[in-house]
């Protein structure tokens, strides 16, 4: 049962299904397509709220860097970076880069989980 906690800034877009993917650090028990993504905000607090539960449709290796996005080890120059960032709840690629740099550092290696 993959459960994901989202910061308050992402709760609205997840609940309204504008954000239908998440990028997470690698886990020992990697999620798989077909499992259900249980999405929350405020986990482990009294203010916990369930945002929804949706079937995972794809899980891919992802790397984010100042130069762009790599999926499954290949750079994808055809990905429109602003659209990729918007699908993940950001207003632009620049905003996504800034957030990941601040929160995790770049380059960031993880899993792209889509539902």
pLDDT < 70 regions, the chain: 76-78
Contact predicate 36/2, CB 8 Å: yes
Res 79: pLDDT = 81
Res 75: pLDDT = 80
pLDDT in tens, 62-73: 999 988 999 998
CATH entry, 3-114, from 2.30.29, 3.30.2010, 2.30.130, 3.30.70 = 2.30.130
Select from 58, 60, 59, 78 the least CA-distant residue to 68.
78
Res 1: pLDDT = 81
DSSP 8-class letter at 72: T
pTM higher than 0.75, yes or no? yes
For the beta sheet containing 68-71, the strands, ordered from the edge strand earlier in sequence to the opposite edge, are 21-24, 108-114, 58-65, 68-71, 74-75
Q: d(Cα 112, Cα 58) in Å, to the nearest integer?
A: 8
Burial of 80 (0-12, 13-18, 19+ CB in 10 A): exposed
């Amino acid at each position: 049962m993959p459960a994901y906690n989202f910061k308050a800034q992402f709760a609205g877009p997840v609940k309204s299904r504008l954000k239908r993917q998440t990028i997470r650090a690698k886990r020992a028990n990697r999620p798989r397509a077909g499992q259900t993504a249980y999405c929350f905000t405020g986990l482990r607090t009294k203010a916990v709220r369930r945002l929804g539960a949706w079937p995972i449709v794809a899980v891919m290796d992802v790397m984010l860097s100042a130069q762009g996005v790599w999926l499954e080890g290949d750079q994808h120059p055809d990905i429109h970076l602003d659209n990729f960032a918007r699908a993940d709840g950001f207003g632009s690629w620049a905003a996504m880069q800034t957030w990941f740099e601040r929160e995790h550092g770049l380059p960031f290696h993880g899993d792209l989980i889509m539902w």
